Amino acid sequence: MVAKRVPLIAGNWKMNLDHLQSIAFVQKLAWSLKDAKHTYDTVEVAVFPPFTDLRSVQTLVSADKYELTFGGQDVSAFDSGAYTGEISGAFLKSLDCTYVIIGHSERRTLHHEGDDEIAAKVAAAIRHDLVPVLCVGETADDLEKHGPSAVPVAQLKAALAGVTAGADIVVAYEPVWAIGSGQAATPEQAEQVAGQLRLTLVELIGQDAADATRILYGGSVKSSNIAGFMRQPNVDGALVGGASLDLAEFSSIVQFQKHVGT
């Protein structure tokens, strides 16, 4: 039987909002979602603030019992030691992080992270009982040269090379050309790649885990285009960048079920 996947709407804040701003934002988000609760069925909402905000977000979410999950935007491949500037998965776990983003295209490009490092980070996340949100996606050049799925599928295989069957992961398909460009993929493009990613997951982690894995689309997601993505059978949510910093927009994206029927 195919597992029912709870949709996940995740906000990647990137390097935006300091810890004081994060408190105000998370409070308002939680209130707006509480008010809207009756308008949608189950959906999981996660935020990915900068590291320096995580303690504030943890305190708020646990004290006020907000139905929000959260995680870091990166993790070290190492557990502790002389790695100046790095953050251990153990530290993220002790702050109640559920998730950690790994392999975002901005880290692949700006920090030259390659497949081996990303695979080591995925292993580190799993070692610390964090769910990796593994980002994969092709550049415009890759798309032209290799078609839509080849690069994301290759990145997925490389990142999960050391992962055992049954692993609990989230995959985010984020075409690099769609990130921050205002030009999202079409829902059909997202579904085509997500379908290929799921078939690859069957080979890598087995049928049951592949059926249970949430595959998100990311890249210029807004309230006006979320419904199209959420109608696709293999797209189980979104990783939202810019629009996740706009409370009204993000709250409306979370309530995508209001738009799906329209």
Active site residues: 104, 174
Q: Does 218 bind ligand 13P (CB under 6 A)?
A: yes
The alpha carbon dihedral of 103, 208, 5, 222 has a sign of positive
Q: Which stretch binds ligand 13P (CB under 6 A): 146-154, 155-163, 214-222, 224-232?
A: 214-222
Q: Does 219 bind ligand 13P (CB under 6 A)?
A: yes
Instruction: Assess contact for 70 and 97: CB atoms under 8 A.
Output: yes
Binders of ligand 13P in range 231-260 (CB under 6 A)? 239-243
What CA–CA distance (Å, rounded) separates 99 from 175? Answer: 21
Query: Which of 8, 12, 113, 196: binder of ligand 13P (CB under 6 A)?
Result: 12
**47 or 179, CB closer to ligand 13P?**
179
Nearest to 10 by CA among 127, 184, 135: 135
Size of the site for ligand 13P (CB under 6 A): 14
Quote the tokens at residue 160.
């999960």
- Residue entry with tokens 């790649």: 193
Angle, helices 150-159 vs 115-127, to 10°: value is: 50
Q: Does 49 bind ligand 13P (CB under 6 A)?
A: no
Binders of ligand 13P in range 96-155 (CB under 6 A)? 104
Residues that bind ligand 13P in the complex, under the rule CB under 6 A: 12, 104, 174, 179-180, 218-221, 239-243
